[in-house]
Amino acid sequence: MYICICRQDTDRDIHEALAQGACRMRDLRERLGVSMQCGKCAECAHTVLKEACDACVSPACTKAA
């Protein structure tokens, strides 16, 4: 599902970025450009990030450190 229409980023893109250690909205903005144009995707992207982050078991995750 598309999360950011402006950048054509999907929930899968967010999950892949999270698996590579993008655990914050700032990380998503830097890696994917989420919410960098119109900003309408910010709340949805945050929701997807939070849900994925809560279930994350990535060794790249910094929240457990």
Residues that bind ligand FES (CB under 6 A): 4-7, 34-41
Residue (of 2, 6, 5, 1) closest to 37 by Cα position: 6
Q: Minimum distance between the CB of residue 7 and ligand FES, rounded to whole angstroms?
A: 6
Which CB, 7 or 61, lies closer to ligand FES?
7
Which CB, 36 or 56, lies closer to ligand FES?
36
Which CB, 38 or 60, lies closer to ligand FES?
38
DSSP readout, 39-58?
A: -TTHHHHHHHHHHHHHT---
